[in-house]
Amino acid sequence: QVQLVESGGGSVQAGGSLRLSCAASRYTGSTVCMGWFRQAPGKEREGVAAIDRIGSTSYADSVKGRFTISKDNAKNTLYLQMNSLKPEDTAIYYCAADWMYRGRSCADYEYDYWGQGTQVTVSS
């Protein structure tokens, strides 16, 4: 079984920054896709950012220019750098990964493995 463990969440004021980490129990250098998702109270989970096997990235329009997804394969860790945070960014953030090609872009991908989530709260 693959385990993904998120960390780095917390509470910040609007305009602040956080860096989320996702440690994987399997080599991240061979992932087809890795991504970050978030779910706010009463809303469905939405994709935030994704990175494919060659390092190409994609972002939701709402976070483009503010968030950066990256990974360190030597540490088997995925990151999400979040800058200029807004109250609407408040949500539980989940990382996801897959090592199986499913014929979809990483922005529209049915991930097999998910972390437990980490809370991000942005106050105004």
Question: Mind listing the pLDDT tens digit for each residue in 51-71?
Answer: 999 999 999 999 999 999 999
What is the C-alpha separation between 71 and 8, in angstroms, rounded? Answer: 15
pLDDT band at 101 (very low <50, low <70, confident <90, very high): confident
Share above pLDDT 70 across residues of the chain, in percent, rounded to a whole number: 100
- Nearest to residue 54, comparing CAs of 78, 31, 37, 76? 31
For residues 83-98, average pLDDT: 97
Stretch 22-51: mean pLDDT: 95
pLDDT at 72 over 90: yes
Neighbour-count burial for 102-114, b at 16+ CB within 10 Å, e otherwise:
eeeebeebebebb
CB 35 within 8 A of CB 49: yes
